[in-house]
Amino acid sequence: MTEMKTVFKWQNEEFKGTIEKEYENSFLISVSNPNEELRDKYLNRIVISKKECLVITV
C-alpha cells in the first residue's frame, strides 16, 4: 500500500502529515510537525478539507 503524505495550511500556518483516512470531502491527518494547539487540543490529528491539502504519494 502506498503511504499518502500531505501538506496543508491551517490558521495561516503550514503543516505536514500522513493521511490516515479519506472521507468524501476531507482527510483525517496525523500531523508530523504540530504546533502547541494541535498537540494539546487535537492530539496531533485533525480533519482537513481536501481543498486545503496538497497530496504527496510516497
The pLDDT value recorded for residue 1 is 55
Total domains in the chain come to: 1
> What's the pLDDT at 3?
84
pLDDT at 5 (0 to 100):
96
What is the Cα–Cα distance from 26 to 49, expressed in whole angstroms?
A: 4
Give this prediction's pTM. Answer: 0.88
Structure confidence at residue 26 (pLDDT): 97
Q: Is the pLDDT of residue 58 over 90?
A: no
User: Which are the contacts of 38, defined by CB distance < 8 A and separation ≥ 6?
Assistant: 10, 15, 31, 44, 46
Query: pLDDT of 6-53, one tens digit each?
Result: 999 999 999 999 999 999 999 999 999 999 999 999 999 999 999 999
Structural domain harbouring 17? 5-55
